[in-house]
Structure 1
Amino acid sequence: MIGKLDDYLRFHETALSLRSTRQQVLASNIANADTPNFKARDIDFASALQGALKRAGPPPAPAPLNATAPRHFPNPAQGADVLPDGSALLYRTPAQGAVDGNTVDMDVERNQFADNGIRYEAGITLINAQIKEMMAAIQGAQ
């Protein structure tokens, strides 16, 4: 029964998680707008969502990690071009280069940040509607 509920909510859960990650990437771009040689990053949401849904399901058992000191944190190694969920982190192509090598275009970043935020809120609204439908079915609402 719980597995079916997980399957029912998995798409929106995965989409919200990716939206949250993308919001962090966009916020990092905005925060580094004045940093010389900073390259703006983003994710291709559609392909990242498809990849995440293909990987969805019960998570595999984590492999034991070797630590060289007892106080080390058990973090898996990952490249700078891959997010923790396995999605590719891409460089944004600038419309116009800056003298200092920074590729952040604040108009583009603000637009993408607002758009992603609105889509996140829409996802929250949809998942709330799904939960209300399930509650109505469970309670036998008329």
Structure 2
Amino acid sequence: MGIFGGTISNLERGLAFSAAKQKTIAQNIANVDTPNYKAKSVSFNEFLSDAKKSTISANRTEQKHMNFSMQASTSGVFDYKNFRYSNNGNGVDMDKEQANLATNQLYYNALVDRVSGKMNTLQTVIKGGSR
């Protein structure tokens, strides 16, 4: 475990999820008038299970080197195949997408605030505390 007990890595995963969700919402909004476009969404459970399954490993060139393992980027994106919102077959509900966009922005800002707080704590420790 790291200095903060894995908090930074959890926040990093949360930020990756928020970025994937932001990208998906932006694609939906951009395709609001595209005929037969099906709205996409990002499921946190899917995102998390994909992250647990996918790892990348590297070969050690020296026995004294530490094992290397990191997670590959995952999407967790799915679409609503049978959902149709408008007559042209488009499945994007603009009101819902804008609400999702606002919710995701709040989530992202909260995560960034927590990361900033952890970094400030680390900076205080490095400087030797407040004097």
* TM-score normalised by the chain length of structure 2: 0.74
Matched, 1:114 2:112: no
Match of 1:99 in 2: 87
Partner of 1:140: 128
Q: Which residue of 1 aligns with 2:8?
A: 9
Q: Is this contact kept in 1: 2:36–2:91, CA < 8 A?
A: yes
In structure 2, list runs of 5 or more residues that go unmatched: 60-71
The runs of at least 4 consecutive aligned structure 1 residues that moved more than 2 Å come to 3-8, 49-52, 54-57, 84-88, 92-97
- For 2:91, give the aligned amino acid: T
Q: Give the aligned CA root-mean-square deviation in angstroms.
A: 2.8
Q: 1:39/1:96 Cα in 2 relative to 1: closer, same or farther (>3 Å)?
A: closer
Distance 1:51 1:13, change over 3 A: same
Name which of structure 1's ranges 38-47 and 19-28 shifts more when overlaid on structure 2: 38-47
Partner in structure 1 of residue 117 of structure 2: 129
Q: Which runs of 5+ in 1 are unaligned?
A: 63-83
Which has the larger share of strand? 2
Q: Among residues 56, 61, 67, which one is paired with 2:58 in the alignment?
A: 61
Is 2:27 the counterpart of 1:35? Answer: no
Residues 101, 124 of structure 1: alpha-carbon distance in 2 compared, 3 angstrom cutoff: same
| Greater RCO, 1 or 2 (C-alpha within 8 Å, sep 6+) | 1
1: CA distance, partners of 2:28 / 2:119? 34
TM-score (norm 1): 0.69
Cα distance per residue 1:68-102 (max 9 Å; x no partner): xxxxxxxxxxxxxxxx7233321247876311000
> Residue type matched to 1:127 in 2?
V
Partner SS, residue 36 of structure 1: coil
Match in the other structure for 1:21: 20
- Residues 1:96 and 1:103: Cα distance change in structure 2 (over 3 Å): closer
Correspondences of 1:72-87 after superposition (within 5 Å): 85-87=73-75
Q: Following the alignment from structure 1 to structure 2, what is the Cα–Cα distance between the partners of residues 23 and 35?
A: 19
Q: Provide the secondary structure at the position in 2 that maps to 1:4.
A: coil
Q: CA deviation at 1:140?
A: 2.1
Q: Distance in 2 between matches of 1:22 and 1:96?
A: 21
C-alpha distance in 1 between matches for 2:53 and 2:40: 23
